[in-house]
């Protein structure tokens, strides 16, 4: 699925000011696009997310210092 | 069953209200394993209701998790009185199995009230367990308001991941 608005697709950016981040229009458009993807609707199967994170955790749990 | 899934199933069974927020919540919106964020903690946002907090604590205990607040074990007995005190102080409770499952039970999500987040939640499925997850827009807006160094790091990295995703879409 393609991002629908080519102008907004250009490098989502974040601007910083003293009171915190200002989320740019392009960033918010990208977030809305992500939320509206078919795989992010109610009932979507996210088993793969948990499996991938657990796999990563187990991988790094085995790491040992070699020097 | 995965340890977190067991807890989520117990919470559902108890009819406790909670929403997954934070980086773990954002991970449910990832498009592939390569865009998942590494985090140890799972943040569950709870309403400021003593009865609900008690249900959550009891579910954590059933799942074999130890409860603490601050650096101290949660007091005994866990009851309505204790839940009311914790809610008065807006205190964070932590639940852990000591083997990598660390869950933060928070009553606060910067910039949002519980009902707003609850009403707009997504219900994702992991195996046969429903996981209520905050909207991605709520998660990033909250992080922008919190504006801690770790929030800025997440937002900057997330923006970069989004840019790559859009360019490749």
Q: Tell whether A3 is covered by a domain.
A: no
Q: What is the ipTM of this complex?
A: 0.86
pLDDT value at B48 more than 90: yes
| Contact criterion met (CB below 8 Å) for B57 and B49 | no
Taking CA–CA distances from B144, the nearest residue in chain A reads A21
Q: Tell whether A9 is covered by a domain.
A: no
Report CB contact under 8 Å: A46, B141: no
Residue A25's pLDDT is what?
83
Structure tokens at B100: 């990598």
Min Cα–Cα distance to chain B from A30, Å: 7
CATH 3.40.30.10 is the classification of domain B3-167: no
A35: containing domain? 14-61
Q: Does B119 touch chain A (CB under 8 A)?
A: no
Residue A8's pLDDT is what?
47
What is the per-residue pLDDT across B21-46, written as a single tens digit (0 to 9) for each?
Answer: 999 999 999 987 777 887 778 999 99
What is the per-residue pLDDT across A8-67, written as a single tens digit (0 to 9) for each?
Answer: 445 556 665 556 667 888 888 889 999 999 999 999 999 999 898 888 777 777 888 887
CA distance B46 to B86: 12
Report CB contact under 8 Å: B126, A46: yes
N-to-C CA span, chain A:
46
Q: Tell whether A36 is covered by a domain.
A: yes
Min Cα–Cα distance to chain B from A62, Å: 13
Taking CA–CA distances from A2, the nearest residue in chain B reads B169
Q: Does B140 touch chain A (CB under 8 A)?
A: yes
Q: Which of B123, B147, B167 sits opposite A21 (nearest CB)?
A: B147
Structure tokens at B12: 């559902």
CA distance A27 to A35: 12
Structure tokens at B62: 């059933």
Q: Does B131 touch chain A (CB under 8 A)?
A: yes
Which H or E element spans position A23? strand A20-23
Report CB contact under 8 Å: B159, A32: no
How many structural domains does chain A have?
1
Min Cα–Cα distance to chain A from B33, Å: 6
What is the per-residue pLDDT across B77-130, written as a single tens digit (0 to 9) for each?
Answer: 999 999 999 999 999 999 999 988 999 999 999 999 999 999 999 999 999 999
CA-based Rg of chain A, rounded to a whole angstrom? 18
């Amino acid at each position: 699925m393609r991002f629908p608005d080519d102008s907004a697709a250009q490098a989502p950016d974040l601007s910083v000011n003293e009171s915190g981040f200002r989320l740019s229009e392009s960033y918010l458009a990208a977030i809305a696009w992500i939320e509206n993807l078919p795989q992010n609707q109610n009932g979507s199967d996210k088993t793969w997310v948990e499996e991938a994170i657990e796999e990563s955790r187990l991988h790094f749990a085995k790491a040992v210092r070699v020097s | 069953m995965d340890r977190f899934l067991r807890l989520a199933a117990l919470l559902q069974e108890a009819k406790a209200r909670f929403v997954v927020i934070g980086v773990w919540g954002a991970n449910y919106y990832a498009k592939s394993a390569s865009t998942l964020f590494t985090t140890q903690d799972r943040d569950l946002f709870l309403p400021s209701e003593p009865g609900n907090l008690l249900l959550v604590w009891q579910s954590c205990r059933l799942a074999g998790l130890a409860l603490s607040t601050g650096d101290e074990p949660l007091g005994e007995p866990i009851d309505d009185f204790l839940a009311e005190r914790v809610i008065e102080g807006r205190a964070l409770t932590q639940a852990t199995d000591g083997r990598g499952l660390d869950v933060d039970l928070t009553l606060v999500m910067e910039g949002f009230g519980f009902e707003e987040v609850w009403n707009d939640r997504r219900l994702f499925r992991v195996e046969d367990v429903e996981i209520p997850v905050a909207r991605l827009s709520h998660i990033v807006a909250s992080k922008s308001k919190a504006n801690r160094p770790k929030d800025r790091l997440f937002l900057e990295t997330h923006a970069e991941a989004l840019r790559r995703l859009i360019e490749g879409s």
